[in-house]
Amino acid sequence: MNTTQAQPSSGAADGSPNRPVIIAFATQKGGMGKTTLSVLVASTLHYRKGINVAILDVDGAQLSVYNQRLREAKQLQNDEEASVRLQAQIASGIQPFVIKAGNPDQVPALLAELPGDVQLVLLDMPGNIDVEGYETAIKTVDYLIVPMETSEYSVTTGIGYINAIREIDLLPVHKLRVIWNKYKPSRDAEIADMLEERFKTMGLACLQSRVPQRDSYQDSTNRSTLFPMPANYLRNSGLKDLFTEIEVLTSLTPTTSDVIE
Ligand SMILES: Nc1ncnc2c1ncn2[C@@H]1O[C@H](COP(=O)(O)OP(=O)(O)O)[C@@H](O)[C@H]1O
Ligand SMILES: [Mg+2]
């Protein structure tokens, strides 16, 4: 498979055929899963689904994704097996996805620097809405996905963030989605269902897939920027549904049929 041959099935939201679809996982506090979800979605869609992805890491204070790639690249020097695996992956036509680092005000410039065949860009945003250029970055997105947990703190924070975005008219509500992260059905289903109904009355939609709380997602080897997440972590996880939901949302079609049973 050659990712450079992959073409989007349709143009992006502004109608231009070569513009990638841009998604940000964002909210106004740290620890909600912005970075984790960005990397999981990027790695799966890029390495398993043949959709050409790039991450713009504009959480300048942390640069978690960018630094993770640097760390992983360094580790490869002492890991023969992983190194051979990466070479095999490249030989099969799959280059590591592009990661660019910067600040939110640089997003338009970083987008312009991306290779022309990138189909999906994920923005890893800072947890502080007051960072310079925050609005510049958010204005570029097609979808803003707000990770939320069902705790009162998380819901209050998330809704506060969404209201702030809407008050300054940064994005229309149809570009906003909530995603339940760190979800435990037995603990969270009832309250999540109830909140979803309430959000609907605000015109706010939730993604149907809910990302479970899994210790394995905290292990950075399971959310590599160089390799797809191991299939055993994806099974029965709700993540498969998230990837499909994002493909449908963005009208991007996988070019490989890597089925995760
Ligand atoms: N679904 C999940 N299950 C378990 N741990 C999670 C999940 N999502 C995120 N985490 C953990 O929560 C912490 C914060 O996540 P992170 O993605 O860094 O948040 P943010 O980028 O919003 O600051 C990390 O330790 C991460 O591993
Ligand atoms: Mg982060």
pLDDT band at 9 (very low <50, low <70, confident <90, very high): very low
- Give the separation between CA 22 and CA 184, rounded to whole angstroms: 29
Would the pLDDT of 2 be above 50?
A: no
**Tens of pLDDT along 166-179?**
988 889 999 999 99
pLDDT value at position 254?
84
Would the pLDDT of 14 be above 90?
A: no
For the chain, give the percent of residues with pLDDT over 70.
91
Domains of the chain plus CATH, in order, are: 17-249 (3.40.50.300)
Residue nearest to atom 24 of ligand 1 (CA): 218
218, 219, 224, 239, best to mutate for ligand 1 pocket (most atoms within 8 Å of CB): 218
CA of 64 to the centre of ligand 2 (A): 6
Would the pLDDT of 221 be above 80?
A: no
- Give the separation between CA 244 and CA 52, rounded to whole angstroms: 15
Residue nearest to atom 27 of ligand 1 (CA): 218
Q: Residues with Cβ within 6 A of ligand 1?
A: 30-36, 127, 181-182, 211, 213-214, 217-218
30-34 contact pairs (CB < 8 A, 24+): 30/127, 31/127, 32/127, 32/147, 32/148, 32/149, 32/154, 32/157, 32/158, 32/181, 33/147, 33/181, 33/182, 33/211, 34/59, 34/124, 34/125, 34/127, 34/147
